[in-house]
Amino acid sequence: MGGDSKLVANKSGPTRLGFVLVLKLFEPEGRFPELLEEVPQAAVEYVAGLVKSRPPSSRSTP
């Protein structure tokens, strides 16, 4: 996360994880994801470890 720590300091849990994932996708692509499936599961799990949050157990919605 590096210099982005100030941006995520006031967020926790799933909110922090989602924010960081969106921010990190925006940096190289210059856009926000439209679908959750655009973010690889491996990336979700990796970032969850960095921000000390549990990744969602399932990506499907009921």
pLDDT of residue 46: 92
Q: Between these two residues, 7 and 57, which has the higher pLDDT value?
A: 7
Distance CA(19)–CA(8), nearest Å, equals: 7
Distance CA(51)–CA(22), nearest Å, equals: 13
Q: What are the Cα distances from residue 22, in Å, to 11, 35, 40, 44, 62?
A: 14, 11, 12, 10, 23
Distance CA(9)–CA(40), nearest Å, equals: 24
Given a contact cutoff of 8 angstroms between Cβ atoms, the answer to whether 59 and 36 are in contact is: yes
pLDDT tens string 14-57: 889 999 999 888 988 899 888 888 888 898 999 999 888 888 77
Global confidence as pTM: 0.74
Please check the confidence at residue 62 and state whether its pLDDT lies above 50. Answer: no
